[in-house]
């Protein structure tokens, strides 16, 4: 149960009802991470705009790479809510539940391309030891492999975004939905 008051869709009025209805129409469902912000409807709008830009906007990073990074960050932060949600999204692309589950446990044990392994290492280390990340550890090798600097920026944005959301979820007691976060629009 959430640590603060949450206004449910059935109780929503005015701007909040409009926001909820829009989310139902565009995302297919209303997530608990949206509802935790119900006392400040504008924050839901701004949050979703940032989310859609980072996770669905045009980028040299593929959608699965963004979801993969989300899972690694959320695993590093021990955020089950985001691991489950974004694990389901990643499985939409990978179609391999075992591989996704292994990524939750230890990204280093998963067979990944060199670029994907470096992105996961960057995500994990920027999350767990942000002050210790050096350009030579991840960014220089990614550039050497031909990853565009825009892709590196976008990876950093995904990492930063999920650190933000993990703290929102963990800090306010957001509970995982009964359906375990399945059924959203992933493309």
Listed by start position, the domains of the chain span: 9-56, 63-172
pTM here is 0.94
The tens-digit pLDDT sequence of the chain (187 residues) is 899 999 999 999 999 999 999 999 988 888 999 999 999 999 999 999 999 999 999 999 999 999 999 999 999 999 999 999 999 999 999 999 999 999 999 999 999 999 999 999 999 999 999 999 999 999 999 999 999 999 999 999 999 999 999 999 999 999 998 876 565 655 6
DSSP-assigned letters across all residues of 36-63: TTTT-HHHHHHHHHHHHHHHHSS-SS-H
Nearest one of 108, 104, 43, 44 to 77, comparing CA atoms: 104
Q: Among 1.10.287.130, 1.10.8.50, 3.30.365.10, 1.20.1290.10, what is the CATH number of 63-172?
A: 1.20.1290.10
Q: How many helices (H) and strands (E) does the chain have?
A: 9, 0
Per-residue confidence (pLDDT) for residue 182, from 0 to 100: 60
Per-residue confidence (pLDDT) for residue 185, from 0 to 100: 58
Asked if residues 170 and 77 have their Cβ atoms less than 8 Å apart, the reply is yes
């Amino acid at each position: 149960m959430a640590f603060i008051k949450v206004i449910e869709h059935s109780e929503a009025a005015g701007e909040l009802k409009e926001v909820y209805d829009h989310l139902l129409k565009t995302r297919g469902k209303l997530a608990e991470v949206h509802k935790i912000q119900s006392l400040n409807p504008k924050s839901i709008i701004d949050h979703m705009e940032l989310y859609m830009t980072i996770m669905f906007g045009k980028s040299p990073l593929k959608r699965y790479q963004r979801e993969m990074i989300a899972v690694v960050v959320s695993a590093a932060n021990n955020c089950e809510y985001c691991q489950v949600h974004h694990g389901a999204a990643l499985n939409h692309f990978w179609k391999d539940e075992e591989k996704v589950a292994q990524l939750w446990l230890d990204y280093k044990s998963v067979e990944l391309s060199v670029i994907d392994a470096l992105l996961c290492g960057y995500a994990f280390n920027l999350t767990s030891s942000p002050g210790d990340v050096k350009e030579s550890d991840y960014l220089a090798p990614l550039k050497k492999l031909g990853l565009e600097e825009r892709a590196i920026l976008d990876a950093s944005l995904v990492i930063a975004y999920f650190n933000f959301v993990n703290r929102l979820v963990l800090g306010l007691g957001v509970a995982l939905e009964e359906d375990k976060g399945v059924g959203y629009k992933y493309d």
